Structure 1
Amino acid sequence: MKSSHYPKLFTKGKIGNVVIKNRIVRNSMGTYLGNPNGTVTDRQIKAYAEAADGGAGLIFMDNATPVPMKSCGLRADKDEFIAGLSLLADALKEHGAVPAMQLAHPGRDAGFVGSADVIGASPITYEPWYQAGAKLPRALSVDEIHDLVHKFGDAALRCKRAGFEVLEIHGAAGCIPTNFLSPHDNQRTDMYGGSLENRMRLLLEIIRDVKQKCGPDFPVGVKLSTDDWEPDGIRLSETIKVCQALEREGVSHLNLMGGTHATASMEMLKPNAFNAGDTQKIKEAVHIPVFAGHNVFTPEIAEQLLEENAGDFVALGRAFLADPAWAKKAQRNQAQDINPCINCLIGCMDRGLLANTPIHCTVNPTLYKYESNPYEPASVSKNIAVIGAGPAGCEAALVAASRGHQVTLYERRSFGGAMVEAAAPESKANIRRLTTYYEEHVTRSKNIKLEKKTATYADLVNQGYQAVIVAVGGAERKLDVPGINQDKVISAMDYLGGRQDVSGDDIVVIGGGVTGAETALELKAAGKQVTIVEMMDEFLASPAQSSLVYKIAIKQAQVKVLTGLRLQEVTTKGVKLVDRFGNITTLSATAVVTAAGFVPQTSLADKLEEQTDMDVYNIGDSERVRQIYDAVHEGFVVARQL
C-alpha cells in the first residue's frame, strides 16, 4: 500500500540482503519491561507486537548486552537467553516487521544501569557526571579487550539463532566503542589508543568477529555519534573516516545520531532534524544505507529527509513512544491523528531510563499498559464539565468523551493553557503540535461541547453536571515588594505569550526555574544583557534533564546568574536584592521580568466539593504545580475513573 502523501517513506528498501517494506526504522529505545536477570516477560512480547502493528518496516526495541548486566533490558551472553529472544523476534515477524537487535555495552556509563564493573578505554568520564558522583571507568587490559570482542561475536550469533534478521552494534552515545573512539576519553598508549586507526580498532575487531561467526551475508550495522558534543571528543571529520572503514569491513548500514548519554539531552533545545546535515555528509562518503534521524517527529520531516538525500532510511525513537501507530497513520494519510512527541524528555528520560523504571511518555499515558482497555465504554453515560483546555483538561475531555460521556469543555482563552507560553521559544515549538492535536480532536468529537467562556460556580451548579473536572492550571506567584507595580516590571508569562515586550537592553529576571531560564535565553537571543536572580543557593537544583540542559545553555549564552538573593525592592534604576544575612546588592536594570513560579488554584474545586453533591476532581497544576507529564496523565486517569 503506497502513500500518496509520503511516497519515498513508503518505498521498499534493503539492508544487506533483507527487504524492508518501507523506509521507517524504529530505533532501539529500551522498554525496560524485562526481568532484572535479562529474561523476557509477557508484557515485553506484547510491546514488540504492538510496535510491529504500528507499521515500521525495521524494528529495534530493547538492546541486548553481550555480558551479564542487571538492567531490566535484554541479555545475549548465554545460550539460555536464546529462547526468550526468539519470542520477541517472532512477535515482530508475525506482526509484519523485520526483527532487528542492537548489541550494546554501556562502557563508562555502566554504573547508571547497575553494573559494579564500569569499564572504558581509560579512567576518564564526562566531567559533569564525575562531579555528580559517577564512577570512573576502569581501563581494560588488552586481553580483556580481546575477550570482549569475542563476547560481542558470540552474542551476535545467539541473536541470529533467535531469529533476528538484522544486527546492530551500538558504537554511539557513550557505549564502549565510543569510549575508544573519543580522543578525550581514550588516553591509551598501546595499539588501541592514539591515532584514529588505533582508536577505531576495537569497533573494527568487533565487526570482524561478528561477521566471522554470523557469516558474511548476515546484515550487521553500526550506530555512531556523528559528533559527541563533548569537549575534545568525537567530531564529524573523524566519524566520516570511521564510517568508510566500517564500509570496507562489510557493515550493512550506518545508524547516525548526535551526542552521548551525557550530552544528548541537549537535543531538547535543538531544531527538528538538526543532524541531517552531518548525516548527508556521511551518506555522500559511503555507499551503504544510512539512517537519518534525531529529532524527527513528523512524517513530513521524514519524507523531506529522504527527498533531500540526507539518508536512505529514517530512524525514529521517541516518536514511537508518543504514538506506536505513527507509521500506520502516516501511510493512511492520517498524520493529524498522530499523537505528537513534544521533545520534553520527561517520560522517557527523567521518569524512565534515569528512574530505573519501564520507559514512560508524557503525551501517551497508555504506553505499555495492557491491563485493560483504556477507553472501555462507560457503564453509565454522565454529563461532565471540564474547566480548562490545557493538557490536563483536554486529555480528560477526550478520554471521557471516547468512553461515551457527554462533556462540556470551558475555556475562555485558547487551547493549550500554559502550553501557549511554554511553546514560545522556538526550541519548544513541538509543544505547539500537541496543542493543535488537542484542538483538532476536541473540535471533532461529537461528545464534546466547547464553551468559550469562564465557567462560573452558577454555570456548574445549574447545568445538571454529575461530575466536574477542574483543570484551570496554576496562577503566577505574585511578588509583594516595593516598586513591583512599575511599568518596567512584567511577568515572564506575558513576555513569552507576546502580550508585553521588554524595554531597554539591561534586564533582570527574578526566578531561576525553567521558566526563568527560558525567558532569559529568549531575551539574550534578542540582544539583551540578562541577569538571573535566584533566591535558592543553587540555580536549577532539580535533577531533571531539563535542568541540566538549561544550565548548559545558560552558561553557553553567557547569561549571568546570581543565587542566594531575594528581591527586596524594584527601584527607578534597577533592583535591590538581599541575602540571608541582610547584605544588600543593587543591580541596574531597564526592565525586570518576574518568573517566580506558580501556585495551585483550588478555590473553585474546594467550593464545588463543599457545597454540591457532584463528583469533583482537581487535576494538573490547579491541584499541585508540577510538569506537563503530570497534567496529561492525571487527565487520563480521572477520565478512566468516571
Structure 2
Amino acid sequence: MKNKYYPHLFEKGKIGNVVIKNRIVRNSMGTYLGNPDGTVTDRQIKAYAQAADGGAGLIFMDNAVPVPMTSCGLRADKDEFIAGLTLLAETVKEHGAIPGLQLAHPGRDAAFVGSADVIGASPITFEPWYEMGFKMPRALTIEEIHDLVEKFGDAALRAKKAGFEVLEIHGAAGCIPTNFLSPHDNKRTDMYGGSLHNRMRLLIEIVRNMKQKCGADFPIGVKLSTEDWEPEGIRIEETIEVAKALEKEGVSHLNMMGGTHATASRQFLLPNAFNAEHTRMIKEAVHIPVFIGHNIFSPEEAEKMLAEGNGDFVALGRSQLADPAWAKKAKEGKARDIKPCINCMIGCIDKGMLGHTPIHCTVNPTLYRFECKPIVEAEVKKNVAIVGAGPAGCEAALTASLRGHKVTIFEKRSFGGAMIEASKPDNKANIKRLINYYEDHITHDPNITLVKKEANYDMLVQGGYDAVIIAIGGKTRILDVPGSDKSSVVYANDYLNGSRVVDGKNVVIIGGGITGAETALELDNDGKNVTIVEMADTFLANSGSSCQAYNIAIAQSNIKIMTGKRLVAVEDNGVVLIDRWGNENTVDADNVVIAAGFTPQYDLANQLEENTEMEVYNIGDSKKVRQIYDAIHEGFIAARQI
C-alpha cells in the first residue's frame, strides 16, 4: 500500500539487485567516532544502529580508506579490519536497513587532514589552501596509479566479505578521482591526462577492478560532483559524459552532489535543492538510479524532488543529523515533529570536518552523545521560569518539560529571539522552520505556559519558582558618537526585522562581522551602494563556513570594504572615520547602518543569584555572545541539570 503522506518517498526501489524499502538514503557523512587507527568503536556501532532505526532504506555513514591512513573514520586496507566492518554491517541489517559503504581516498585533500603523503594527478591544489600553507600534492606515477586501483578493488572485496550490500566510490568533493577528472587539477601529459577520456581513466579502472573482484552483479555506485565550483574545474557537461561512461561499466547508481571540501561553504548561500536541475540532467542521460542530495531538508522537498523526476532516491546527510528519526517520522505523518536542519554548517562542518572532532549538530544536542543518560523525568518536579523564547530559552523549555517540570516561559516579543533577524536573508530562511518548530511544540505542550510579558526581578521572585533560566539574548551595542542620533542612522537588527527602512542610495555599514556582512548583501541586492567599515584589520576574521561563504559572495559583489578604521562622527551626508594613526577621512553616506555586535546581559541573573535561593542559570548570548549552536546546547544542558 502506498504511503498516504509521501507516496514517492516511501516506494520500494532497487540498487542493482538489492531491494531498498524506501527512497531515502542516509548519505555518507563521517561521524569521526572511530579510533584514530581506523578501528571500530562502540559509539560507532550505536550510531549505525540509531541511523538504521531512523527509517532510511540505505545507510552510508563513515567512508573507508583503501590505503593505510590515520583518521577517525574506517579502514579497509587490511584483512584485520574486516571484523570491525562486519559489526557495523550486521548492526545496520539487524535494525532494518541495507548497509552501504563508501570507499574514499582524499587525494589532494589529505593535506587538509594532516596526512604525511598527499597525492593527486598533478602538483596542484586549491589555491587558498596553498596560500594557507597546506602541503602540495605530489603527482602519482603510473605504477602508483595501478597500485591504487588494486587497493580499491581489494578494499571493496573486504567490504563485501564484511556484509555491506552496496558499495560506493567517492568520486566527488575533491577526492582522488576528482583530482584526475578536473581539467584544472590534472595537467598530466600521459594516458591519465588531457582529454576527458583520459582524465576519467582512473575512475573507470577503479570501477572495473572492484567489479572484477566483487562480481559483476554486486552493486557498486559512484558519488560525483555535478560541478566542483572551482576555477576551470569540473562542469556539468563533462559530468554527464562521465555518468554515461560509468553506466556502460555497469555501476549500480550515481550519487550526485555539488562542490568540493574546499568549496563546501558555498552551499550555505545556496537555496534548498539547489542541485535539482543538474541532477535531473544526469538522470535524463542514464538509465540507472540517480541520488539527489544537498540542501534538501523537509519531507515535502524530498517528495517534490522525486515526483518531479529530479532523482530516483533522496540522499540526506545533515537532515538526519538534526533528527535521526527523520524518515520514520515522515512515514508516520509526523513531519511537524521533525527537528529541522537550518543549514548553518556549524556543528557538522565547522566543529566536525574542519574542527577534527566527532560530528556535532547545532539543533540536536544529543547527537551521538551515547555516554549521556537519556532524558528522564526528574525525581523532584519543579516550577521553572524561563525568560526569553530565543533558541536557548525554547530548547530549555522543551527539555525541562520532558523532565516533568512545570515551565513558564516569558517572551515580550515573539518566538525566535535573535533568530527572527537571523532568518531574514534568503539563504538563512531555514531558520524560520526552526522557529516554527519551537513555537508549535511549546504552544501545544501542556507543561509549558507562555506569558507574553517582559519578566522582571519582582515577577520572578513573587512567582514561586524553584529555578530560573535567563535566556534574554545579547544587548545591541550602541555607538555613542556625534550624530549617531540622526534619523539616517539605523541599527542592523531593526533593518533586518523590518522595523526600520534604509531608503538612501549610499549606505555605510559600521561593523564587519556576520551581521554586517548579511546586511550588506541584503542592501546590495536592493541596489544600494554599500561600504563596510571594520575597526579591526581583518574583515570576517572567523574561519567558519558562513564567514568563508560571505567572503566569497562579497568578493563577487559591488560592496566595498574598509578595514582598520573607526567611526568618529555621523554628518548630514557622510561619516567621518579615523585610523590608528589619527588620519581622518569622510565617506559619503545617505544612511548609516550600525552592526557593531552585541554585549551579554548579566544583571538579572546576578540579582537573582545574590538575593534568592532559586537555581539560576544564565545561558546563550545573555551569558556570552556566540553562535546559535551555543545557545541551543546551553539551553539543553541547563534544563537537564534542574
Q: Same fold (TM over 0.5)?
A: yes
1:325 aligned residue? 325
1:273 aligns with 2:277: no
Gaps of 5+ in 1: none
1:416 aligned residue? 416
1:37 aligns with 2:28: no
Find the residue that maps to 1:223 and give its secondary structure: strand
Matches of 1:65 and 1:444, distance apart in 2: 47
2:307 aligned residue? 307
1:161 aligns with 2:161: yes
Matches of 1:66 and 1:551, distance apart in 2: 36
Find the residue that maps to 1:585 and give its secondary structure: strand
1:78 aligned residue? 78
Give the Å deviation of 1:558: 2.5
Contact 1:222 1:251 in 2 (8 A): yes
Q: Which structure 1 residue ranges, 4+ long, deviate > 6 Å from structure 2?
A: none
Matches of 1:351 and 1:374, distance apart in 2: 23
2:439 aligned residue? 439
1:506 aligned residue? 506
1:474 aligned residue? 474
Find the residue that maps to 1:351 and give its secondary structure: helix
Contact 1:2 1:331 in 2 (8 A): no
Which residue identity does 1:632 align to in structure 2? I
Matches of 2:111 and 2:235, distance apart in 1: 26
* Deviation digits for residues 554-597 of structure 1 (CA, Å, limit 9, x no counterpart): 11113111100000111111101000000112100110100001
Counterpart mapping for 1:348-367 below 5 A:
348-367=348-367
1:144 aligned residue? 144
Matches of 2:184 and 2:568, distance apart in 1: 46
How many pairs were matched up? 642
Which residue identity does 2:586 align to in structure 1? T
Q: Which piece of structure 1 moves more, 127-136 or 394-403? A: 127-136
Contact 2:157 2:210 in 1 (8 A): yes
Matches of 2:558 and 2:540, distance apart in 1: 16
Give the Å deviation of 1:5: 1.4
Give the Å deviation of 1:114: 3.0
1:487 aligns with 2:474: no
1:13 aligned residue? 13
Counterpart mapping for 1:46-57 below 5 A:
46-57=46-57
Matches of 1:9 and 1:356, distance apart in 2: 34
1:465 aligned residue? 465
1:538 aligns with 2:562: no
Contact 1:510 1:592 in 2 (8 A): yes
Contact 1:609 1:616 in 2 (8 A): yes
Give the Å deviation of 1:69: 1.0
2:61 aligned residue? 61
Give the TM-score, by structure 1 length: 0.99
Find the residue that maps to 1:113 and give its secondary structure: coil
1:639 aligns with 2:636: no
Contact 1:482 1:570 in 2 (8 A): yes
Matches of 1:486 and 1:141, distance apart in 2: 68
Matches of 1:133 and 1:497, distance apart in 2: 41
2:211 aligned residue? 211
Find the residue that maps to 1:455 and give its secondary structure: coil
Matches of 2:518 and 2:129, distance apart in 1: 23
1:595 aligned residue? 595
Find the residue that maps to 1:352 and give its secondary structure: helix
1:253 aligns with 2:249: no
Give the Å deviation of 1:2: 4.1
1:620 aligns with 2:620: yes
Matches of 2:513 and 2:240, distance apart in 1: 40
Give the Å deviation of 1:370: 1.4
Contact 2:509 2:530 in 1 (8 A): yes
Matches of 2:188 and 2:283, distance apart in 1: 31
* Deviation digits for residues 96-118 of structure 1 (CA, Å, limit 9, x no counterpart): 00000000001001022231101
Matches of 1:124 and 1:632, distance apart in 2: 41
Which residue identity does 1:158 align to in structure 2? R
Matches of 1:340 and 1:501, distance apart in 2: 31
Find the residue that maps to 2:221 and give its secondary structure: strand
Counterpart mapping for 1:113-124 below 5 A:
113-124=113-124
Matches of 1:133 and 1:24, distance apart in 2: 40
Matches of 2:151 and 2:19, distance apart in 1: 28
Matches of 1:312 and 1:546, distance apart in 2: 31
Contact 1:70 1:114 in 2 (8 A): no
1:240 aligned residue? 240
Matches of 2:400 and 2:132, distance apart in 1: 44
Give the Å deviation of 1:37: 0.4
Q: Which piece of structure 1 moves more, 368-377 or 77-86? A: 368-377
1:451 aligned residue? 451
Contact 2:268 2:545 in 1 (8 A): no
Matches of 1:551 and 1:173, distance apart in 2: 21
Matches of 1:248 and 1:102, distance apart in 2: 21
* Deviation digits for residues 5-25 of structure 1 (CA, Å, limit 9, x no counterpart): 100000000000000000000
* Deviation digits for residues 479-532 of structure 1 (CA, Å, limit 9, x no counterpart): 011000100000000000011110111111110000000000000001111110
Matches of 2:582 and 2:155, distance apart in 1: 64
Contact 2:295 2:343 in 1 (8 A): yes
Matches of 1:179 and 1:372, distance apart in 2: 41
Q: Which piece of structure 1 moves more, 606-615 or 48-57? A: 606-615
Matches of 1:34 and 1:589, distance apart in 2: 55
Contact 1:374 1:640 in 2 (8 A): no
Give the Å deviation of 1:641: 0.6
Matches of 1:157 and 1:338, distance apart in 2: 37
* Deviation digits for residues 404-452 of structure 1 (CA, Å, limit 9, x no counterpart): 0001000000000000000001110000000000001111111101000
Contact 1:15 1:289 in 2 (8 A): yes
Give the Å deviation of 1:3: 2.1
Find the residue that maps to 1:468 and give its secondary structure: strand
Matches of 1:545 and 1:206, distance apart in 2: 32
Find the residue that maps to 2:234 and give its secondary structure: coil
Give the Å deviation of 1:286: 0.4
* Deviation digits for residues 35-62 of structure 1 (CA, Å, limit 9, x no counterpart): 0000000110010000000000001000
Contact 1:511 1:532 in 2 (8 A): yes
Matches of 1:276 and 1:372, distance apart in 2: 39
Find the residue that maps to 1:224 and give its secondary structure: strand
- Report % sequence identity: 70
Find the residue that maps to 1:458 and give its secondary structure: helix
Q: Which piece of structure 1 moves more, 541-550 or 228-237? A: 541-550
Find the residue that maps to 1:561 and give its secondary structure: strand
Matches of 2:251 and 2:223, distance apart in 1: 11
Matches of 2:241 and 2:404, distance apart in 1: 59
* Deviation digits for residues 113-139 of structure 1 (CA, Å, limit 9, x no counterpart): 231101101111111111122211111
* Deviation digits for residues 446-465 of structure 1 (CA, Å, limit 9, x no counterpart): 11010000001111000110
Matches of 2:210 and 2:355, distance apart in 1: 33
Contact 2:389 2:417 in 1 (8 A): yes
Find the residue that maps to 1:169 and give its secondary structure: strand
Find the residue that maps to 1:321 and give its secondary structure: helix
Contact 2:529 2:558 in 1 (8 A): no
Find the residue that maps to 1:379 and give its secondary structure: coil
Which residue identity does 1:460 align to in structure 2? L
Give the Å deviation of 1:543: 1.5
Contact 2:168 2:222 in 1 (8 A): yes
Matches of 1:315 and 1:584, distance apart in 2: 55
Which residue identity does 2:462 align to in structure 1? N
Matches of 1:162 and 1:547, distance apart in 2: 41
Matches of 1:51 and 1:217, distance apart in 2: 27
